[in-house]
Amino acid sequence: MWSGMPLFPERASTMAGRVDALYFFLIGLSTFFSLLIAGLIVFYAVKYRRRKADEIGADIHGSLILEIAWSGIPLVITMVIFVWGASVFFAMARPPDEALNIYAVGKQWMWKFQHLDGQREINELHVPVGRAVKMIMTSEDVIHDFFVPAFRVKADVLPGRYTTVWFEPTKPGRYHLFCAEYCGTKHSGMIGQVVVMEPSEYQTWLSGGAPEGSLASTGAKLFADLACNTCHRPDAQGRGPVLEGLFGKTVALQSGETITVDEAYVRESILTPVAKITAGFQPIMPTFQGLVTEEQLLALVEYVKSLKGLPQVETR
């Protein structure tokens, strides 16, 4: 009913309808109470206006029923908003396990996308329709914000860490992509397009060109070039932890804490190796800060993620 309204962007993701429903509920609720309150103010101002110069209002000494009502009704309403809002929030915060991962790097002033198969794009993002897509994002410089109105997704993109956002496009087409955080002179020009394609078209597009091979293979090459493989060896004889099968595991740290190995931990361990040393290892790894770019980091992270399937050394 609202889709014809030019004020609202198209709905092109599974989440769009849910976000809009909550939004319209809030608008409706606010409108109802604004009109009710303003109407009553006017009505009572007229009804109880002073008619004689010496008229004085009657004292009122409280009303239990009224006080319960004005506490209870707002409580119910705000709880509805809270539970409804939280359910949408949790759905948006938890990407499905089978989501297609795509990396994004924000930079003054462009969006760089990296597909696992090796394709790279700037200011254009190709995705298949009907499949959940999880964006793993970081920034090379300042704070940016990934915003696709048609999908109703928006998330800050921060230097020094990974943030994620997910969406499942429901309609093929081209959709606006914006940077929604002021990031310098050409912030307004930091825009792009998300191209949603039929799965078959998407496959054709994917096979269209990735001269350098998959992202993980780029990472593997880099891993060897940086000589990471001299310490991180699959046979547990190296001076660093075995990386095979490590991703997603929970490991014990020297500090006695445990941590789940995710993208952020791998990234941190490359840039600031001493920050969280695995129990049983020495803090001897040099930092790679300044030696690898954000995009190379993504390749290394993806390589570590890809190291599965070998006979596993229990790291728990």
Q: Which of 105, 155, 179, 197 binds ligand CUA (CB under 6 A)?
A: 179
Q: What mask of x and - would describe binding to ligand CUA in positions 187 to 226, judged by CB under 6 A? A: x--x------------------------------------
Q: Starting at the edge strand that comes first in sequence, how are the strands of the sheet with 110-115 ordered?
A: 120-122, 110-115, 100-107, 133-139, 163-167
Q: Which segment (49-57, 183-191, 251-259, 265-273) binds ligand CUA by CB under 6 A?
A: 183-191
Nearest to 13 by CA among 124, 141, 153, 125: 153
Q: Which of 168, 181, 244, 302 binds ligand CUA (CB under 6 A)?
A: 181
Q: Which is nearer to ligand CUA, 109 or 223 (CB)?
A: 109
| DSSP output for 258-286 | EEE--HHHHHHHHHSGGGGPBTT--S-PP
The helix/strand/coil state of 13 is strand
For the purposes of burial, counting CB atoms within 10 Å of the CB of 192, is it exposed (0-12), middle (13-18) or buried (19 or more)?
A: buried
CA distance 202 to 207: 9
Q: Which of 105, 135, 177, 183 binds ligand CUA (CB under 6 A)?
A: 183
104 binds ligand CUA (CB under 6 A): no
Nearest to 266 by CA among 283, 241, 291: 241
CA distance 286 to 292: 13
294 binds ligand CUA (CB under 6 A): no
Crossing angle between the packed helical segments 16-47 and 64-93, to the nearest 10 degrees: 160
Q: Which is nearer to ligand CUA, 133 or 183 (CB)?
A: 183
The helix/strand/coil state of 159 is strand
Considering CB under 6 A, how many residues would be counted as binding ligand CUA?
A: 9
Would you say how long the chain is, in residues?
Answer: 316
48 binds ligand CUA (CB under 6 A): no
Q: Which is nearer to ligand CUA, 2 or 182 (CB)?
A: 182
CA 37 to chain CA mean position, Å: 38
Beta carbon of residue 290, minimum distance to ligand CUA (angstroms, whole number): 23
Q: Which segment (63-71, 179-187, 241-249, 267-275) binds ligand CUA by CB under 6 A?
A: 179-187
Q: Which is nearer to ligand CUA, 183 or 285 (CB)?
A: 183
Nearest to 177 by CA among 165, 162, 164, 190: 190
Beta carbon of residue 133, minimum distance to ligand CUA (angstroms, whole number): 20
Q: Which is nearer to ligand CUA, 123 or 272 (CB)?
A: 123
Q: Which two tokens stand for residue 117?
A: 């198969």
Q: What mask of x and - would describe binding to ligand CUA in positions 123 to 162, judged by CB under 6 A? A: ---------------------x------------------
Interface residues with ligand CUA (CB under 6 A)?
A: 106, 109, 144, 179, 181-183, 187, 190
